[in-house]
Amino acid sequence: MRTEFSLKRFARLTGLLYLILFPTSGVAYGISQLLMQRGAAGAFAWIQSNPTLFRLAIVLGATGYIDYLLLGLAFYKLLHSVGKVAAATMLAFVAVSVPIALAAIARWLDVLSLLSSADGLDPQTLHTQVLLAVHGYNNLFQVSAIFWGLWLIPLGWLVMRSGFLPRAIGLMLMLGSVLYVMGFIGPVFSSSYPSTLVARIVGITSGIPGLFGGELAICLWLLIVGVRSSAESY
C-alpha cells in the first residue's frame, strides 16, 4: 500500500512537470514564430517595443527546457521497470535535445547584446544581425524538435506496456512524434512547408491526436489519476 501510494505521488509530480512545460517552452515557441513572420525591420521593432515580454520569453524558454530534462528523468524513474532499454533511449533523446534548445536561447541573448551596443551600428546592419540571431534561434529549435518527436516513441511504447497507464494515450504519443519530426524535415525541403497541404495533413493526423490525445492527456491523467493497479484494464 505504501509503495503504491508513493508511486501515485511520484506520478502526479511527473504530471506537474509536464504541465509546466506547456506555458514555458510554449511561450518561447510562440514568440519565435511571431518574430520569424515579421522580417528584419519588423522583428527589430517588435523587440524594441516589447523588451520585457522578449526577456520573459527568454527566461520562460530556459525554464521550460530545464523542466523538460527533469521530466525525462521523472518518466525514466516511473517507467524504467517496464523496459530499461526503451526508458534509457527515451532519456537519451531528451538529454540530447536540451543543450540544443538552450543554445537556441543563447541566440536570443545575442539579440539583447546587439541592442545594448547598437550605437556603433547603422540601422540596416543592426536589423540584419538581429534577424540572423532570430533565424539562428529558429534553426536550433528545429533541430531540437527532432528529439522532441523521437522521445515520444519509446515513451508511448512504455506507456502502452506499463499496465498502469492507458494504452490509448501511449498510441497517441507515438502518433504525435510524426509532427515534430516533420517540423524539421519539411522546412529543409521547402521553406513554405508550414503553409503547405502536407503540413496541414500532418498536423491533423498526428499533431492533434499527439498533443491533445497524447501529451496533454498523459499530463492530465498523471495529475488527476496518477497510476492505477496493473490489474485494472483500460
For 97, the grid coordinates are 535535445
pLDDT per residue as tens digits for the range 73-101: 999 999 999 999 999 999 999 999 999 99
* Ranges of H-type helices in the chain: 2-36, 39-49, 51-79, 84-116, 123-150, 152-162, 167-189, 197-202, 208, 216-224
pTM of the model: 0.87
Taking residue 9's Cβ as centre, other Cβ atoms within 10 Å add up to 12
pLDDT per residue as tens digits for the range 9-53: 899 999 999 999 999 998 998 898 888 888 778 888 899 899 999
- Rounded Cα distance, 78 and 158, in Å: 10
Distances in whole angstroms, Cα of residue 50 to Cα of each of 32, 199, 232: 13, 30, 51
Max mean pLDDT among 61-70, 137-146, 163-172, 187-196 falls in 61-70
Residue written as cell 524538435?
145
31 residue type, one letter:
I
Domain boundaries, the chain: 2-224
pLDDT per residue as tens digits for the range 95-128: 999 999 999 999 999 999 888 876 666 778 888 8
Res 37: pLDDT: 82
pLDDT per residue as tens digits for the range 47-73: 989 999 999 999 999 999 999 999 999
Residue 169 backbone phi and psi in degrees, to 5: -65, -40
